[in-house]
Amino acid sequence: MKIMVINGPNLNMLGKRSKAIYGDKTLSELDTILRKEGESLGIEIISFQSNSEGALIDFVQKHSVKASGIIINPGALTHYSFSLRDALADSGLPTIEVHLSNIYAREEWRAKSVIAPIAKGQISGLGWRGYVAALRTLVGELKKET
């Protein structure tokens, strides 16, 4: 089983960017944690980060054929990208939206997600552990289904 882990704009700057809000782990440290978690769950992680909306959509389209689920932190695209939302919906894959910070406890514009209505669920405000929780949940559900 393959699970896509996708990070959107500016998440390549984790570890440097607003540490008080996003924590001090880098994206590569987060990747390592998820890869290890994936190994212990017996699944493969396909991870991708881009600052470009089009590249994220291309990645979803290309890999959805062979993946079983998606974990995505769309960054600021969360709040306005209808094209990313369409690509995720068109993939037909169960998708969990993750945010490191609590998007409901920040600026008003962050409290709106255009991705959430097509997601299976959302985890917001649990830092890097939110990704691990999303992975365990998604794999647990998928294993039950097959």
Compare residues 82 and 143 and give the one whose CB is closer to ligand DQA.
Answer: 82
The CB-of-112 to ligand DQA minimum distance in angstroms stands at: 10
Annotated active-site residue 63? The verdict is: no
The CB-of-104 to ligand DQA minimum distance in angstroms stands at: 11
Task: Let me know: does 34 contact 47? Beta carbons within 8 Å.
Answer: yes
| Catalytic residue (one of 63, 79, 80, 99) | 99
The CB-of-10 to ligand DQA minimum distance in angstroms stands at: 5
Which DSSP category does 98 fall into? E
Compare residues 45 and 100 and give the one whose CB is closer to ligand DQA.
Answer: 100
- Per-residue exposure over 25-61, b if at least 16 CB sit within 10 Å of its own CB, e if not: bebeebbebbeebbeebebebbbbbbeebeebbebbe
- In a 13 Å sphere around the CA of 54, the CA atoms on its Cβ side amount to 0
Q: Give the integer Cα–Cα distance in Å for 61 and 110.
A: 26
Where does this chain bind ligand DQA (CB under 6 A)?
10, 73, 75-76, 78, 99-101, 103, 110
The CB-of-136 to ligand DQA minimum distance in angstroms stands at: 19
Compare residues 68 and 72 and give the one whose CB is closer to ligand DQA.
Answer: 72
Compare residues 102 and 137 and give the one whose CB is closer to ligand DQA.
Answer: 102
Residue numbers annotated as active site: 22, 99
